Copies of this chain bind each other. A is one copy, B any other.
Amino acid sequence: MSEKASVLLVGAGGVGAIAALNLDTGGQADVTAVLRSSYEKVVNEGLHIKSIDHGEIQGWRPSNVLNKIPSRTEKEFDYVVLATKNIADHHPTPAELIEPAVVPGKTVIVLIQNGLNIEKPFLSKFPDNICLSGVSMIGSHETSPAFIEHEDSDRLIVGAFKNPNFSKGKQEQVAQEFVKIYGAGGKTVCTFTDNVLYDRWQKLVYNACLNTICAVTGLDTGRMRLADDAVSTLVRPAMNEIVTAAYACGIELPEDIVQRMIDVDPLTIYFKPSMLEDVQRGNLTEFENLLGEPLREGTARGVAMPTATFFYHTLKAMQWKFKEQKGLIDIPPKTA
CA distance A333 to B314 in the complex (A): 31
Complex contacts, A324 vs chain B, CB 8 Å? 223, 227
Complex contacts, A334 vs chain B, CB 8 Å? 268-270
A327 within 8 A of B: no
Number of interface residues of A (CB under 8 A): 38
Closest to A310 in B: B310
Q: Which of A4-12, A40-48, A211-219 contacts B (4 or more CB under 8 A)?
A: A211-219
Q: B269–A335 contact, CB under 8 A? A: yes
A332 within 8 A of B: yes
Complex contacts, A223 vs chain B, CB 8 Å? 320-321, 324, 331
A230 within 8 A of B: yes
A2 within 8 A of B: no
CA distance A103 to B233 in the complex (A): 42
Given contacts A313-B234, A334-B270, contact A228 B318 (CB under 8 A): no
Complex contacts, A234 vs chain B, CB 8 Å? 310, 313-314, 317
A316 within 8 A of B: yes
CA distance A270 to B317 in the complex (A): 15
- In the assembled complex, the CB of A226 is this many whole angstroms from the nearest CB of chain B, namely 6
Q: A317–B268 contact, CB under 8 A? A: no
Q: A218–B316 contact, CB under 8 A? A: no
For chain A, residues 303 to 336, give those with C-beta under 8 angstroms from any C-beta of chain B.
306-307, 310-311, 313-314, 316-318, 320-321, 324, 331-336
Given contacts A234-B314, A310-B306, A310-B307, contact A228 B333 (CB under 8 A): no
A92 within 8 A of B: no
Interface pairs (29), CB distance under 8 Å = A213-B317, A217-B314, A217-B317, A218-B318, A218-B321, A219-B318, A219-B321, A222-B331, A223-B320, A227-B317, A227-B321, A227-B324, A228-B316, A228-B317, A229-B313, A230-B316, A230-B320, A233-B313, A234-B314, A266-B335, A268-B332, A268-B333, A268-B335, A269-B334, A269-B336, A270-B334, A306-B306, A307-B310, A310-B311
A interface residues (Cβ-Cβ under 8 A, vs B) = 213, 216-219, 222-224, 226-230, 233-234, 266-270, 306-307, 310-311, 313-314, 316-318, 320-321, 324, 331-336
